[in-house]
Amino acid sequence: MQKPKKQAKPADPMMAQHNSEMARAAASAMAGNHAETVETCSELLTSGLYEDMEKSGKKDAARRCRAEVRLLLGSAMHFQDAHYEDIVRVLTYALDAPTEIRKDALFTLAVVHHSFGHAQEAVAAIERCRVELAALQGTKAESREKAAWQEQDKEAHQFLEELSSSFPKS
């Protein structure tokens, strides 16, 4: 006789909506359809979903979700050749996030600054990213997460070295 399967805990419908829309936006981005990604992210940010999350007592989840959307939005805007100031504004808003997202927003900001010729801002952003990665290394986390953060720090260090070599020697 088989044991009855445990009923899965019903998913939070607001998180399910966020995850579904983020999956749709990410699929568009991976397909190179950045205009659709921008549209999906913009709709998600203005949908009222995150305000509803806050009203239901899920302020941290709303903050994290908003930051995830803004990070993807900023990346898509960069690929879509949006104005520098607009991209930086969106990614700066994404910094209001837990460290795991903030480090990615900082790395993306560094890339955006660099691609628009703002080397000093790029260096500052990538240095802040490395500080966030170092803070994560000091937390309790699974070894695979720590390994991923170490790899990200290597990439950030390499990017920093490339940026530093682009400065004129005095």
pLDDT score at 143: 87
145 in any annotated domain: yes
28 in any annotated domain: yes
Q: Is 79 in the same domain as 104?
A: no
pLDDT score at 3: 56
Q: What does the pLDDT average to over 26-34?
A: 96
Write out the residue range of the structural domain in which residue 71 sits.
14-83
For residue 98, report the phi and psi dihedrals to the nearest 5 degrees.
-60, 160
Q: Is 40 in the same domain as 108?
A: no
168 pLDDT band, cuts 50/70/90, is: low
Q: Is 168 in the same domain as 108?
A: yes
Helices (H), 33-170: 34-46, 49-55, 59-79, 84-93, 99-115, 119-137, 143-165
User: pTM value?
Assistant: 0.88
pLDDT score at 165: 81
3 in any annotated domain: no
Q: How many domains does the chain have?
A: 2
Percent share of the chain, pLDDT over 90: 82
CATH of the domain at 150: 1.20.58.80
Checking if the pLDDT of 35 tops 80, the result is yes
6 in any annotated domain: no
